[in-house]
Amino acid sequence: MKTKIVAFAIIFCLFPFAVCQEQNEREKGLEKLRNGPKELCEAIETGNIKAVKTIIKKGIDVNLPAKKDEFPQKDSGSIQKNTHFPALKGPYLGQKPPGMTPELFAPGIITTDKSEGCSGWGNDMEYFIFQRWIERKSKLYIMNQNNGIWSAPELLPFVDKYQVGDFTIAPDGKTMVFASNILIDEIGAEGEGGNIWIVEKTETGWTEPKHIGLGINTKYHDSYPCLAANGNLYFFSRRPGGYGDSDLYMSEFVGGEYRAPVNLGPKLNTEYHEWDTFTAPDESYMIYCSTMPAGLGEDDFYVTFKNADGSWSEPVNMGNEINTEKSENRPYVTPDGKYFFYTSTIRGNRDIYWVDARIIEELKPPKTLR
């Protein structure tokens, strides 16, 4: 019986016209084999008769469908899901953690010759999401950890429809807040683009994104949202009435609703651009970017710490270990509090770096004795 199957597979693959008299029957058969097990498909496509014989002798059923991700595929973001994706095991995609000197994150895998942006982890580090620009469009990809093994990147399903830009993942590990360039109906065509949206990850997938509300979103540019553990929302906006070109704002989350955003004041905001704020889950510190001339490059990271009276301390430049003469932005700290992720253009394209988060604590001002 196996000999007959071998003969049929060989003849069918190499001489389809001799086997099938009509086009539709031939196509049905080829499709059946293309959707068969990966090893058999590869042998058929290369004409390796010996391999076909060996595979079928092992008892592989040509009627079995292929597993979903066994064949090279391209999604709209041009990342291939294929069998050659490296086997990544363990925490942080199996990467060796850095020390106090920043390092590229997962070079050749996450950090590539393309431009990468935001990154974030699930609360238990069970998934990783990162941003990459493909043909000048922002794409977000997710990798999931199953039994210690990381999956290949897959495009998030709502990215293209909602034109998802910069994002952060909330401390609960399931809520994502992001900036979108689609126009909100209530604002209309006068909108400049850049509004804040929210989406949640559930056991069955992602909810439908919704904008966070007209109390937050304006017809001006509102972006890089970040949620504290209590739900308070931090973001930057180019709305009028601020101190500079872009200002930092905070909206309290009280009784399940967001209150009117409050400008974080002239201690943090200047006449220049302040943007991309990451706030610690407990709001004990905040990292943000500024283009003020006192910095080392195009935009630098600054950190400010929450005082006992609830005010923010004087911002401190995070120094030349982090900041360069180029652009550094998109700050994020892992849910375990161990590593600081960010991007830099020091190599030309925008790349993702990570460094030990102790670098933040070392910038904390000493307590004054009374």
**DSSP symbols for 70-98:** SS-EE-TT--EE-TTS--EESGGGGPPPP
Please indicate, yes or no, whether the overall pTM of this predicted structure exceeds 0.75.
Answer: yes
pLDDT classification of 76: cutoffs 50, 70, 90: very low
Q: Write phi, then psi, for 264 (nearest 5 degrees).
A: -80, 5
**Which residue type, as a one-letter code, is found at position 227?**
L
Q: What pLDDT does residue 51 have?
A: 40
Model confidence pLDDT, tens digit, residues 149-175: 999 999 999 999 999 999 999 999 999
Q: What pLDDT does residue 79 have?
A: 54
- CA pair distance 81, 215, nearest whole angstrom: 41
Model confidence pLDDT, tens digit, residues 112-132: 999 999 999 999 999 999 999
Domain extent listing, the chain? 2-57, 76-361
Stronger pLDDT, 21 or 251, i.e. the higher one: 251
Model confidence pLDDT, tens digit, residues 293-329: 999 999 999 999 999 999 999 999 999 999 999 999 9
Cα dihedral across residues 296, 332, 125, 200: positive or negative: negative
- CA pair distance 40, 67, nearest whole angstrom: 13
**Contact criterion met (CB below 8 Å) for 318 and 300:** yes
Q: Is pLDDT of 271 > 50?
A: yes
Q: Is pLDDT of 246 > 70?
A: yes
Q: What pLDDT does residue 187 have?
A: 83
Q: Is pLDDT of 11 > 90?
A: no
- CA pair distance 38, 144, nearest whole angstrom: 22
- CA pair distance 318, 339, nearest whole angstrom: 15
The structure tokens listed for 272 are: 């220049």
The structure tokens listed for 252 are: 């309290």
Stronger pLDDT, 280 or 79, i.e. the higher one: 280
Look up residue 191 and give its DSSP letter: -
Rg (CA), the chain: 26
Q: What pLDDT does residue 368 have?
A: 59
The architecture (CATH level 2) of 76-361 comes to 6 Propeller (2.120)
Q: What pLDDT does residue 193 have?
A: 76
- CA pair distance 231, 283, nearest whole angstrom: 11
**Contact criterion met (CB below 8 Å) for 84 and 336:** no
What average pLDDT does the structure give for the chain?
83
The structure tokens listed for 137 are: 């469009």
Q: Is pLDDT of 41 > 90?
A: no
**Which residue type, as a one-letter code, is found at position 189?**
A
Q: What pLDDT does residue 370 have?
A: 53
